[in-house]
Structure formats: C-alpha cells, structure tokens
Copies of this chain bind each other. A is one copy, B any other.
Amino acid sequence: MEFRQEWLHEVRKAQKKAYVPYSKFKVGAYLLTKDGKDFHGCNVENAAYGEAICAERTALVSAIAQGYQPGDFAAITVTTDAAEPSSPCGACRQVLKELCDDDMPVFMTNPAGDIIKMTVAELLPLGFSGKDLN
C-alpha cells in the first residue's frame, strides 16, 4: 500500500491526544484496516515508567477490541516531534509481528513530512513468533 498525504493530517490528530506528563514526548499512530476503517493511537504514560503503552499498540488493541483480527490491517503510520522520523520500539514491533502481515508497511514520519517505509518483517528480522513455541 502506498502512502497517502492525508494520513499526515490524521496521525497528527492522533498525536495530540498523547498522555505524556513524564517524557513530554508525544507519539501518534494511524492504523488502517483492509476494509477501510481507521484507528488513532497515542502513547499513554504512567508514573511507573514500565507501565507506559505506546501509540502503535494503542491503535492495534483499539482495533482488536472493536472486533478486528490479526491479518485485518493494511498500514500504520507513526509520528513524533523528533527531527528525524522515529521508529517503533521493540515491544511494538513484536506486537506488529503478532497481529499484522509480514509485508504490511510501517510509515515513519516527522513534522517536516519526511517518510521512511519499512515492512513489519524488516523491522523485526528473524522475528520471534508463535511457531517458535510449538
């Protein structure tokens, strides 16, 4: 799936909702499903830092809670206020691996509108998955 400029607007709207009293580092995510629905995600921090939940995971679990299932997703876009586009953290890559197709695109962007595209598989090479458990 190719990137569309209107997603920049959506991911910025998502980012505004971030709850980040500790880092002040707002992250937004914009998730599209294969059937054309979309979900916003933002990071939700905690005084106990380890209980923070990232924007990418917020968007993904929101979709699951509305009835979507692994494999139903078409693309995700992520933004922060950093000068360079930031990538998903490791835990988010693991959740993307679990819930999304290996070739699903992850678009990373920044305030200047630069875009970096990587697939889920590229972000977690030789990724750990359920087949390792069997």
Binding site for B on A (CB under 8 A): 14, 17, 19, 21-23, 25, 39-42, 44-54, 57-62, 64-67, 69-70, 80, 82, 84, 86-95, 97-99, 108, 116, 118, 122-130, 132-134
Whether the pair B87, A90 counts as a contact (CB closer than 8 A) is: no
At the interface, is chain A mostly helix, strand, loop or mixed? Answer: mixed
In the bound complex, CA of A114 to CA of B131 (Å) = 18
In the bound complex, CA of A132 to CA of B44 (Å) = 18
Among B58, B66, B130, point to the contact of A47 (Cβ < 8 A).
Answer: B130
Chain B residues positioned under 8 Å from A125 (CB to CB): 118, 122-123, 125
Q: Determine which residue in A17, A53, A58, A99 has the highest number of CB atoms from chain B within 10 A of its CB, and name it.
A: A53
Q: Apart from A22-B133, A58-B62, list 7 A-B contacts with CB within 8 A.
A: A19-B69, A19-B70, A44-B99, A45-B98, A58-B64, A61-B61, A90-B90
In the bound complex, CA of A91 to CA of B95 (Å) = 10
Chain B residues positioned under 8 Å from A128 (CB to CB): 47-48, 86-90
Nearest CB in chain B: distance from A100 CB, A: 12
Chain B residues positioned under 8 Å from A57 (CB to CB): 53, 61
Known: A52-B50, A66-B40. A86 touches B19 (CB 8 A): no
